[in-house]
Chains A and B, each alone.
Chain A
Amino acid sequence: MSRRLTHTLGSLGQEILLVVVILALFAFVGVYNPRFLSENNLTSIFVGNAYIAVAAIGMSLVIISGNIDVSIGALIGVLAVISGLLVTNGYPIWVAWLAPLVVGAAINAVVGCLIAYARVPSIIATLAMLSILSGGLITFTGGQWISGLPAGYQLAQFRLLNVPSPVWFMIGMTILAGFLMRYTTFGRSVYAVGSNPEAARASGISYKATVVKVFAIHGAIGGVAAVLFATQLQVIQSTTPVGLELVIITASVVGGVSILGGVGTVFGSTLAAILFAAIGSSLIFLNVSAYWLRAVQGILILATVLADMARRRRTG
């Protein structure tokens, strides 16, 4: 009980720390260059990166369950193209919005089965999926962008109460997933499987079923991320940003999800995704070359991982 309390406090600490860092960053860059805080820039930070925060929610579930997924970037690319092809081939818009969720869940359920039933380590299964999905995508599309999207399809450009829809999705899905993880049997079984698979099995939790469900949910959330990614511009690029999966994993880990599984919340990962987006944008306003962005991300993930290990050793 007290252990869980320390864990809760520990992960909460990470979230408070992230909020402080985000506010400090906004204040610092805002003072240096006031245009950083303009509504335009803030909107572009949130709208352009909300899909990363959404995908990081699913990734957090995967990492809490003691696994990893390096294929999520490629999956988002594939699902975005599927959505675009459906809508440009005359299917109703709602089909194009929902199909990525279903296909994403189906693809990742297969991956989950490989991991849970065929005992393929998640890193190997998802590395292979990364290769299959990204190779298949380029072969299939020939690198061409999809244009001629019908009006009303651009979900990510909608606004509600003058707040862009991706922000609503980001907040709504974070709360939903937070609720799922905190208050449902399923959520608890994910933590149990991640912190001690043997003990989980002994207490009647099916390791295999839990892992397959986690991956299926992760795939469906990836579908939502793909729709947000696909509908933010007037065209759909057939490639996702290089290293997208790393940004998503980094958001989860920096958000306080322990790399060893069993610990973490989805709130932290959303905050971390916001922090990354802000860092990326602030480099431009601080006149630092954007080519350093990945190095900054690398340092951040390394520092967080080392801090996580140090904290674990201290608390035992």
Chain B
Amino acid sequence: MTAMTRILIRHEFILGILFVIVLFAMASQNDRFLTTANLLNQARLMTEVGLIAIPMTFVIVTGGIDLSVGSILGLCAILLGVFWQNLGLPLPAAIGLSLAAGTAAGFANGLIVTRFRVPPLIATLATLALYRGLAEGISQARSVRGYPDWFAVLGRGDFLGIPTQLWLFALVAAVGIFVLRFTTFGRTTYAIGNNEAAAEFSGLPVVRTKLLIYTASGFISALAAIVFVSRVSTTRSDMGSGIELEVITAVVLGGTSIFGGRGMVIGTLIGLCLMQILQNGLSLSGVRGDGTTVVIGAVLIVAVLISNLLSRFSSD
């Protein structure tokens, strides 16, 4: 156990150093980078990926994966627009229903993984297609605009000088840190990732824990959809496509083992910030958005390679 903590500290230590180096490199490249306005704006842009990365940390710690988060985001965004504009519901009710739909989508993932024992990779790859397909079918390529001003506060407004959604993100992250670190539920999550069969034989509620985690992943993806729609004040069916890649990269970069059993929410947060400043710094120095996805892909591979290397040293 102490050896494991040591590795975690080491991984996060390396990550922290890397973060500082990148921060300085970016700051020396461009004057606009290290300003409060820019950093707060980057934090705002990071929120949707960040929100989903919290439950994704739990999912990956159990040894699973959830590829459908981007599709759930798209589906919930579309449903929000449909409930509000096409069905004429009040916006708060539409938000509530959209969150419920996302939770149900996550619950369905959990059921497929636990009851039918489909490997999470394939289960969520299938629902990735299904949920995105539903979003496309329901929206028929129509976008919804014209949301009321009060709704934009969530995605574009400030509260006490800090972007509104950042408070929400801080809350979700705090809950994530607390649950994974200090509760029985968190310990069960690690136990499942280390050895699922052993966890089951020790009488731990494996099925219920996994079901809850996938459901939470769906709920938070829906929450991210609400924030996203509020920020860009429009809904389209392709919203959030490919976001799963950024989320998984942040989690793995943060030191969570893709094989399960190891990882912390704090690490995910550092990984997230590192990725965001890397993207921001690159785009400030003239690399376009598509170029930065190349960097994210490369960073993901390097992150897993380093993590594999570290775990090999520790096992010797």
* Closest A residue by C-beta to B297: A131
Given A131-B300, A135-B290, A306-B112, CB of A246 within 8 Å of CB of B65? no
**Inter-subunit contact A302/B308 (CB<8 Å):** no
Contact among B65, B137, B293 for A291, CB-based, below 8 A? B137
**Inter-subunit contact A294/B288 (CB<8 Å):** no
Given A123-B121, A297-B133, CB of A309 within 8 Å of CB of B116? yes
* Closest A residue by C-beta to B304: A120
Q: Provide the bound-state CA to CA distance between A124 and B249, in Å.
A: 9
Contact flags (1/0) for A110-136 with B, using CB distance below 8 Å? 000010001111011101111110111
Q: Does A243 contact B (CB under 8 A)?
A: yes
Q: Provide the bound-state CA to CA distance between A132 and B296, in Å.
A: 8
Q: Which chain B residues in 156-195 approach chain A with CB under 8 Å?
A: none
Q: Does A172 contact B (CB under 8 A)?
A: no
Q: Does B310 contact A (CB under 8 A)?
A: no
Q: Does B284 contact A (CB under 8 A)?
A: no
**Inter-subunit contact B137/A295 (CB<8 Å):** yes
Q: Does A259 contact B (CB under 8 A)?
A: yes
Q: CB-CB < 8 A to A118: which residues of B?
A: 305, 308
* Closest B residue by C-beta to A293: B133
Q: CB-CB < 8 A to B258: which residues of A?
A: 121, 124
**Inter-subunit contact A289/B129 (CB<8 Å):** no
Contact among A253, A259, A295 for B134, CB-based, below 8 A? A295
Q: Does B209 contact A (CB under 8 A)?
A: no
Given A124-B248, A125-B301, A305-B118, CB of A294 within 8 Å of CB of B129? yes
Q: Provide the bound-state CA to CA distance between A310 and B123, in Å.
A: 14
Q: Provide the bound-state CA to CA distance between A139 and B288, in Å.
A: 8
Q: Does A299 contact B (CB under 8 A)?
A: yes
Q: Provide the bound-state CA to CA distance between A280 and B258, in Å.
A: 36
Total A-B pairs in contact (CB under 8 Å)? 132
Q: CB-CB < 8 A to A310: which residues of B?
A: 116
Q: Provide the bound-state CA to CA distance between A259 and B117, in Å.
A: 12
**Inter-subunit contact B123/A305 (CB<8 Å):** yes
Q: CB-CB < 8 A to A156: which residues of B?
A: none
With a 10 A CB-CB cut-off, give which of A127, A292, A301 has the most chain B CB atoms. Answer: A127
Given A139-B291, A246-B125, A294-B129, CB of A128 within 8 Å of CB of B116? no
Q: Provide the bound-state CA to CA distance between A114 and B258, in Å.
A: 15
Q: Does B42 contact A (CB under 8 A)?
A: no
Q: CB-CB < 8 A to A139: which residues of B?
A: 288, 290-291, 294
**Inter-subunit contact A306/B118 (CB<8 Å):** yes
User: Within the complex, what minimum Cβ distance (angstroms) separates A115 from chain B?
Assistant: 11
Q: CB-CB < 8 A to A260: which residues of B?
A: 119
**Inter-subunit contact A131/B294 (CB<8 Å):** yes
User: Within the complex, what minimum Cβ distance (angstroms) separates B242 from chain A?
Assistant: 8
**Inter-subunit contact B248/A127 (CB<8 Å):** yes
User: Within the complex, what minimum Cβ distance (angstroms) separates B187 from chain A?
Assistant: 25
Given A118-B305, A289-B137, A306-B116, CB of A134 within 8 Å of CB of B129? no
Q: Provide the bound-state CA to CA distance between A298 and B132, in Å.
A: 9
Contact among A124, A134, A136, A309 for B300, CB-based, below 8 A? A124
**Inter-subunit contact B119/A259 (CB<8 Å):** yes
**Inter-subunit contact A301/B294 (CB<8 Å):** no
Q: CB-CB < 8 A to B277: which residues of A?
A: none
* Closest A residue by C-beta to B128: A246
Contact among B65, B118, B130, B296 for A123, CB-based, below 8 A? B65
Contact among A68, A128, A289, A302 for B130, CB-based, below 8 A? A302
* Closest A residue by C-beta to B291: A139
**Inter-subunit contact A301/B308 (CB<8 Å):** no
Q: Does B252 contact A (CB under 8 A)?
A: yes
By Cβ-Cβ distance, the 4 closest A-B pairs, closest first, are: A298-B130, A295-B133, A131-B297, A294-B133
Q: Using A302-B112, A305-B122, A309-B116 as known contacts, list a sample of 13 further A-B pairs with CB atoms less than 8 Å apart, ordered by residue number in A.
A: A121-B258, A127-B300, A128-B249, A132-B293, A134-B293, A135-B291, A136-B290, A246-B128, A253-B122, A291-B140, A294-B136, A298-B134, A309-B118
